[in-house]
Amino acid sequence: MSAPLSESVSESESESAPLYTAVATATGDGRAGGRAVTDDGRLDVTLAVPAAMGGPGGATNPEQLFATGWSSCFHSALKLVASRRGVTLVDSAVVAEVSLVPTETGGWALSAALRVRFGGGVSLDVAEALTAAAHEVCPYSAATRGNVPVTLSTTVA
């Protein structure tokens, strides 16, 4: 059984032995027609540059994969902090929008928006506190903190 996650992760804790390591390999032309596969074969996707960027579209791109990982990880963190505070979440959802933006040096960077929706049963104040706490716990949020600008928004139905 794995140890419970704390509501904050210190640098020394992040250097401990991993609980799990995901392994994926990208081949071919990367985002421009390549393929990405996990070592267990459960995820096997063709990659394509989105039509919005002048590519053919019609396949997955790295930003979609990142958004999928972050939204699911953040939602798990949200459920964890809610449970620890005795709050039952009903119909909650996390939408992650990951954008590829040009930099001044001609490269690329990411920006993100996390939209957290609560289905009811909590006040907006409680929902915002849970969102902030989840942002502290989520490993994706920790990994991107200080590197990727993130906008958090919280709504209650």
pLDDT tens for 119-152 read 989 999 999 999 999 999 999 999 999 999 999 9
Query: Does residue 6 have a pLDDT over 80?
Result: no
pLDDT category at 116 given cuts 50, 70, 90 is very high
CB 39 within 8 A of CB 46: no
Shared domain check, 108 and 55: no
Same domain membership, residue 140 and residue 93: yes
* Same-domain status, 143 and 73: yes
Domain assignment present for 114? yes
Taking the C-alpha atoms of residue 144 and residue 22, their distance in angstroms, rounded to an integer, is 18
Beta strand 44-46 with 35-38: parallel, antiparallel or unpaired? antiparallel
pTM equals: 0.87
Arithmetic mean of pLDDT, 74-98? 98
Same structural domain for residues 26 and 52? Answer: yes
Domain that residue 44 falls in: 22-60
Residue 152: which CATH number?
3.30.300.20
Here the tokens at position 104 are 């001044």
pLDDT of residue 13: 55
Domain count, the chain: 2
Q: Is the same domain home to 52 and 70? A: no
Task: Determine whether 52 is exposed, middle or buried from the number of CB atoms within 10 Å of its CB (0-12, 13-18, 19+).
Answer: exposed
Residue 45 maps to which CATH number? 2.20.25.10
pLDDT category of residue 90 using cuts at 50, 70 and 90:
very high
**What percent of the chain clears pLDDT 70, i.e. is strictly above it?**
91
Please report which helix (H) or strand (E) contains residue 68, including its range.
Answer: helix 62-84
